[in-house]
């Protein structure tokens, strides 16, 4: 198992057509290969970002027919790269859409799939409800993918707010957690870095969070600040909040074992029962 992963972290302003995003992907992959990267991490909605439901539905295809995933597989083969393809909407067997993440190996084969479990149904002050569940069906399976660098935990965006998922991943051997995202500006400003650093510290793992940024063709604005967080909570890379970009860096995976040995909270936990106490029972 390799102790160093040379990773290219990507930040995108994805379009509401596959073709525009495929063009961006081709440039990203070529540049990553030039830096000697072994893996690319893309953001949520990398292949298609479109809040116009009818326009999006007309473009969404099953995984095997999706043009963006086909382009990712081709780029992986041509450049000898692993690609964590962030996510892109695909059609499920029952006709509903899934917010679908994939891990692709250098042969172009999809070796792991993850459908976003926790959908972004929130009610921010001064904004219309987001209602992600009105467009997507939820996933139901958490996924740790085996790789030459050990276990990789797969998640998407709003999953970040459910820390038990990442704890379960760490217990299952994940050394790197992927959190491809398209955070809103208000929630990004308030919570993004704090939550990512917390997940890294709690699990003693690397957290890789590729993000969407800027103003999109569908009118949305996203926070950006793609981050890589080390197991001790240090920010190793931040791509800022102004525009697309990418950076290649080496992850020293030996830091995972070091952090978990120093603070073994994954093994220190103990079972407990929960009781609630009212004023009346307290008086008794």
Evaluate if residue 280 carries a pLDDT over 80. no
Q: How far apart are CA 165 and CA 249, in angstroms?
A: 26
Query: Mean pLDDT lowest for which of 81-85, 100-104, 134-138?
Result: 134-138
What pLDDT digit, counting tens, does each position of 197-226 carry? 999 999 999 999 999 999 999 999 999 999
Q: Which two tokens stand for residue 48?
A: 């298609």
Q: Which two tokens stand for residue 120?
A: 């972004």
User: Is 44 one of the annotated active-site residues of the chain?
Assistant: yes
Q: How far apart are CA 75 and CA 96, in angstroms?
A: 28
- Number of neighbours of residue 127 by Cβ within 10 angstroms: 10
Q: Is there a contact between 99 and 44 (Cβ–Cβ < 8 Å)?
A: yes
Torsion of CA 16, 179, 113, 146, to 10 degrees: 150
Domains recognised in the chain with CATH numbers: 4-283 (3.60.110.10)
Tell me how many degrees the CA angle 197-274-144 measures, rounded to the nearest 5.
Answer: 40
Q: Where are the beta strands (DSSP E) in 118-184?
A: 143-145, 151-154, 174-178
Percent of the chain with pLDDT strictly greater than 90: 87
Candidate list 63, 116, 132, 202, residue with the active-site label: 116
User: Is 65 one of the annotated active-site residues of the chain?
Assistant: no
User: Is 157 one of the annotated active-site residues of the chain?
Assistant: yes
How large is the average pLDDT for residues 80-97? 94
Candidate list 44, 65, 125, 284, residue with the active-site label: 44
In the chain, which residue ranges form alpha helices assigned H by DSSP? 18-34, 53-57, 67-79, 163-171, 185-187, 193-203, 254-262, 265-268, 279-283
The pLDDT of residue 278: 87
Evaluate if residue 131 carries a pLDDT over 90. no
Candidate list 26, 65, 72, 157, residue with the active-site label: 157
pTM of the model: 0.95
Q: What is the DSSP string of 230-280?
A: -TTS-EEEE--SSS-EEEEEEEETHHHHHHHHHS-HHHH----------HH
Evaluate if residue 168 carries a pLDDT over 80. yes
How large is the average pLDDT for residues 47-74? 95
How large is the average pLDDT for residues 28-51? 97
Q: How far apart are CA 15 and CA 212, in angstroms?
A: 10
What pLDDT digit, counting tens, does each position of 213-267 carry? 999 999 999 999 999 999 999 999 999 999 999 999 999 999 999 999 999 999 9
């Amino acid at each position: 198992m390799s102790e160093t992963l040379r990773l290219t972290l990507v930040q995108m302003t994805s379009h509401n057509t596959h073709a525009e995003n495929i063009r961006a992907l081709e440039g990203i992959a070529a540049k990553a290969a030039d830096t000697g990267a072994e893996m690319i991490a893309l953001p949520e909605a990398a292949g298609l970002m479109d809040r116009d439901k009818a326009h999006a539905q007309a473009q969404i295809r099953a995984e095997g027919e999706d043009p963006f995933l086909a382009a990712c597989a081709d780029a992986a083969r041509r450049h000898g790269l692993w690609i964590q393809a962030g996510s892109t909407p695909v059609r499920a067997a029952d006709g509903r859409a899934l917010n679908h993440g994939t891990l692709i190996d250098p042969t172009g084969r999809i070796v792991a799939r993850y459908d976003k479990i926790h959908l972004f149904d929130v009610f921010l002050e001064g904004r219309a409800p987001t209602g992600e569940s009105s467009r997507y069906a939820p996933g139901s399976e958490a996924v740790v993918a085996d790789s030459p660098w050990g276990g990789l935990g797969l998640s998407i965006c709003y999953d970040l707010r459910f820390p038990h998922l990442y704890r379960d991943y760490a217990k299952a051997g994940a050394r790197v957690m992927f959190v491809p995202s398209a955070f809103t500006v208000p929630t990004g400003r308030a919570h993004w870095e704090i939550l990512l650093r917390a997940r890294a510290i709690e699990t003693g793992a690397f957290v890789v969070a590729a993000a969407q940024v800027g103003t999109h063709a569908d009118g949305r604005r996203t926070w950006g600040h793609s981050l890589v967080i080390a197991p001790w909570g240090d920010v190793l890379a931040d791509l800022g909040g102004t525009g697309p970009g990418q950076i290649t860096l080496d992850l020293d995976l030996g830091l995972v074992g070091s952090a978990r040995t120093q603070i073994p909270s994954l093994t220190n936990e103990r079972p407990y029962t929960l009781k609630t106490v009212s004023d009346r029972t307290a008086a008794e």
